[in-house]
Structure 1
């Protein structure tokens, strides 16, 4: 049962990440309402929610990411659906949707360094420079995308 949950969780996560990059590209072009936006938000929220189904003891970093991601996604969905991206809600949506995608990609990098033998050899404890460099590059990329998307949205608003 746990193995099936893991496979479903990973599949949903990868669908969320893949569609998230499509939505990110659209945001950079000034289109925060790309047709895949709903799918991205649904898959990303499903990633967080299915993560809560795994057995755990105490409050773990995975639970913290899940709670944070869920709150961020609820805010992004509210900005998109209830507030229709009007006024400052466009910026709220962009920042929160990108932050949710960043959290998923952050976890993807962690998992890759745990599961891919070549990456695990480079950073077996994930405290080595290759892991930090990889996560730093991801962070820089998302910060750039966030600033560029918000700047583009201001120009188009």
Structure 2
């Protein structure tokens, strides 16, 4: 399994997931930069994602939805705040309305994805910081840890296919 560590920090309102992949930094970057590839691994296996807009360029917005096994759609929105190709990117992450506007009643987070080469491939560190411990707990109660872990655990198989 690619995920090697998950750390919840109530004091900083954050969750950090560390994973290792048998790939190069450039190959992992490619996966995140290409919406069709990203769709193959983003979201838990039972809630696949469809990106309707995605470009890893500072100042852009990515719009997507995840589809439940019952066909229900759950929109999301990323506002890309910085890009350091191929080493990572940062973004504001929002639950969204059906019109891809930030959902005001659900927690948002500041996210940082960083990719560092290792002797065996690449180590990816995913950090999400929320505005409060309560907001962090709300997404954890929604299954964020399990969903993100199962999503990230799909990446190695996809990259090696």
TM-score, length-normalised on structure 2?
A: 0.29
TM-score, length-normalised on structure 1?
A: 0.29
Higher relative contact order (CA 8 A, sep 6+): 2
Question: Counting helix residues as a fraction of each chain, which structure ranks higher?
Answer: 1
